[in-house]
Amino acid sequence: MCPESPPTSTRSEPVVVNLGPQHPSTHGVFRLKVTLDGEVVQDADMIIGYLHRSMEKLAEERTFTQNIPFTDRIDYLAAMSNNLAYCLAVEKLADIQVPPRAQWFRVLFAELQRIASHSLANGTFVNDCGAWQTPLMYMFREREKVLDMFEMTCGARLTTNYMRIGGVAFDPPPELLPAVRAFLDEMPDRIAEYASLTVDNEILVVRSRGVGVISAEAAINASLSGPVLRGSGVPWDLRKADPYCVYDQLDFDVPVGRNGDCYDRFIVRLEEVRQSVHILKQVVDNIPGGPWLTDVPLHLRPPEAEAYARVESPRGELGFYVVSDGGPTPLRFHCRAPSLINLTALKQMSVGGTLADAIVTLGSIDIVVGEIDR
């Protein structure tokens, strides 16, 4: 039995610590100002805008087609999903039909992009938990293969600019589908390898279970989406709830967590990679022939209307709200950025925990600063 320590006369006061703007835990140029009482976070305030490029204003001065490259640069880790969401919004606005071959290729690339993005998210999350770089490099290996497939298709690895209004830009080369098949054949073993490295790893479990908890009610009220919402046990996936392209013809499950903590969000992402592989196996054998791009007027003037289209991007509900006044450029171009809106709950998740837990929580939200700031 330790004797009770005598009461001290030491007075303490909260300390303000800036995490970032340049800090390995913030995954970009993002600053988190935390007020600490000892190790415990009392308040967390984020300062963002270091990467603000004013895309919504720039887009009002460019034609609907010229805006597609901007969407790559909004979320540069999921460029295909961003291309897709914007093209869906303009197609809804101008009532353009997309040929079936393009629909299937869109799903193919969106799911490959999800594997790449979730591999990176899980790798950096494990990194934040203390497994310095090794799992990240393992997961980067798979991401590299996906990026090689993008390069083979459209010449770019990150800013793909591949989708077009009314289809996709190019018919992929004949080498693509064999490469995807080979990738899908080895992927289950790779996922099993990652799972054996991480899922039951004691350090990872201790660092992330019960950390950054958010309940299902609070997550819905804070408009969270994607793996952060599903980690809290809400089975809300737009690919099921509001299917776009050909997702209604595909069979897959929506993994959900139980406790809404960082560990559940990590597991949800890992499981989603497995589901994406399952989806891709159905896609590669079913791609129909025919044209991959429909005729869209070069001088596209959508009617005076507005459209909101959304997809399930790797980070959550990615929506584009596009308003047209009948002119050549959009009157308003707004991106509903899941990275930004998922940060709404960051304070709620991190106050009361330690500073080290706040870093794990931030890692589990999987932010992309380009998408937060736009």
Partner 1 sequence: MTAALDPRVVAERLAAAVPGAVRAADSTALVVEPARLPEAVRYLADDADLDLSYLSNLTAVDRETHFEVVYHLQSLDRNHMLTLKTLADDHDAPRVPSLVACFHGAHLQEREVYDLMGIRFDGHPDLRRMFLWDGFPGFPLRKDFLGMPGDLRAGLPGFPHESGRNAWPVPGGTPQIPEG
Site residues for partner 1 per CB under 8 A: 48-49, 52, 54, 56-57, 60-63, 218, 220-224, 234, 236, 241-243, 248, 298-299, 305-306, 308, 310, 317, 319, 321, 323, 327-329, 331-332, 334, 336, 340-341, 343-345, 348, 373-374
Q: How far is the CB of 221 from partner 1 (least distance, A)?
A: 5
Token pair, residue 360, equals 């794990």
Q: How far is the CB of 111 from partner 1 (least distance, A)?
A: 20
Q: Select 270 or 311, whichever has its Cβ closest to partner 1.
A: 311
| Rounded distance between C-alpha atoms, residue 161 and residue 84, angstroms | 10
| Rounded distance between C-alpha atoms, residue 130 and residue 116, angstroms | 22
Q: What are phi and psi of 297, to 5 degrees?
A: -55, 140
Q: How far is the CB of 34 from partner 1 (least distance, A)?
A: 16
Q: How far is the CB of 48 from partner 1 (least distance, A)?
A: 6
Q: Select 159 or 329, whichever has its Cβ closest to partner 1.
A: 329
Q: Select 60 or 171, whichever has its Cβ closest to partner 1.
A: 60
Q: Select 177 or 323, whichever has its Cβ closest to partner 1.
A: 323
Q: How far is the CB of 43 from partner 1 (least distance, A)?
A: 12
| Rounded distance between C-alpha atoms, residue 66 and residue 235, angstroms | 36
Q: Select 119 or 313, whichever has its Cβ closest to partner 1.
A: 313
Q: Select 85 or 131, whichever has its Cβ closest to partner 1.
A: 85
Closest CA to 350 of 129, 124, 127, 40: 40
| Rounded distance between C-alpha atoms, residue 56 and residue 317, angstroms | 18
For residues 269 and 199, is the Cβ–Cβ distance under 8 A? no
Q: How far is the CB of 362 from partner 1 (least distance, A)?
A: 15
- CA-to-CA dists, residue 314 to 78, 204, 266, 272, 360, angstroms: 7, 22, 13, 9, 19
Number of H helices, E strands in the chain: 15, 8
